[in-house]
């Protein structure tokens, strides 16, 4: 997806959707946009539109299809009968995708790149190479860069960059061996995603 298109989507859905929209360049672009549109009356969104925006925010952020997301929604909602909180389950389903975990470990600077890494066989789970970005990892799983891939240009500067990165507290990472481990469950604490609103959209 072109950067210009990402900027437009990021402006509509929020800077947190794309990594490229969390840069000084995007901030400058947004400032120019606000200056040019300061005399325009802001559009008031309906309840449905707000729910749709939240849904799209999640889809674009995790780079998943509507069908994949719908399946996650169904699974999360089905856990209500078991006493689980649907929003927490949904967040775990999204965060526990292998491509997202690869990104959260700092092995890629975008989720799109992490998906490519997995698809090309650069990542292993518990020592086994996998090419399925949507693979669901669990507590105790070991995620690492495949030994044969560690010398590739893609990972040449990874050790240095990884030392400057702090993984979420539900993951641990060894920058020397490019190996991470899932040690807990992810929690939606930053408030960027309103998953309750997303569930309301699908319950209509």
**Is-contact 57 13, C-beta < 8 A?**
yes
Cα–Cα distance measured from residue 20 to residue 10, given in angstroms and rounded to the nearest whole number: 9
Q: Which domains does the chain have, with CATH numbers?
A: 98-182 (3.10.290.10)
The reported pLDDT for the residue numbered 26 is: 47
Q: How far is CA 59 from the centre of its chain?
A: 9
Cα–Cα distance measured from residue 30 to residue 39, given in angstroms and rounded to the nearest whole number: 15
Cα–Cα distance measured from residue 105 to residue 162, given in angstroms and rounded to the nearest whole number: 8
**Please, what is the Cα angle at 121 between 118 and 123, to 5 degrees?**
60
Q: Which residue has 């539900």 as its token pair? A: 170
The mean pLDDT value for 143-172 works out to 83
pLDDT in tens, 49-75: 889 889 998 998 999 999 999 999 999
Angle between helices 47-62 and 3-13 (to 10 degrees): 140
- Please report which confidence band the pLDDT of residue 155 belongs to, taking 50, 70 and 90 as the band edges: confident
- Tokens representing 33 are 């946009």
> Which range (105-109, 145-149, 155-159, 163-167) has the least confidence?
155-159
The reported pLDDT for the residue numbered 12 is: 54
- Please report which confidence band the pLDDT of residue 166 belongs to, taking 50, 70 and 90 as the band edges: confident
The reported pLDDT for the residue numbered 6 is: 52
Residue 191 reports pLDDT greater than 70: yes
Out of 15-29, 31-45, 99-113, 142-156, the most confident range is 99-113
């Amino acid at each position: 997806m072109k950067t210009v298109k990402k900027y437009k989507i990021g402006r509509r859905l929020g800077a947190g959707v794309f990594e490229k929209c969390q840069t000084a360049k995007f901030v400058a672009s947004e400032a120019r946009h606000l200056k040019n549109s300061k005399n325009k009356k802001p559009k008031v969104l309906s309840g449905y539109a707000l729910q749709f925006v939240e849904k799209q925010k999640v889809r674009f952020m995790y780079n998943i299809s509507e069908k994949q997301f719908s399946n996650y929604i169904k699974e999360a909602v089905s856990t209500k009968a078991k006493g689980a909180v649907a929003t927490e389950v949904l967040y775990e389903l999204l965060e526990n995708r292998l491509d997202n975990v690869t990104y959260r470990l700092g092995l890629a600077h975008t989720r799109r790149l992490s998906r490519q890494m997995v698809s090309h066989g650069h990542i292993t789970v518990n020592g086994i190479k996998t090419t399925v970005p949507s693979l669901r990892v669990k507590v105790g799983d070991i995620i690492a860069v495949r030994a044969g891939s560690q010398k590739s240009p893609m990972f040449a500067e990874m050790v240095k960059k990884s030392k400057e990165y702090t993984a979420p507290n539900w993951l641990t990472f060894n920058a020397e061996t490019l190996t991470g481990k899932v040690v807990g469950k992810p929690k939606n604490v930053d408030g960027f995603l309103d998953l309750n609103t997303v569930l309301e959209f699908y319950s209509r």
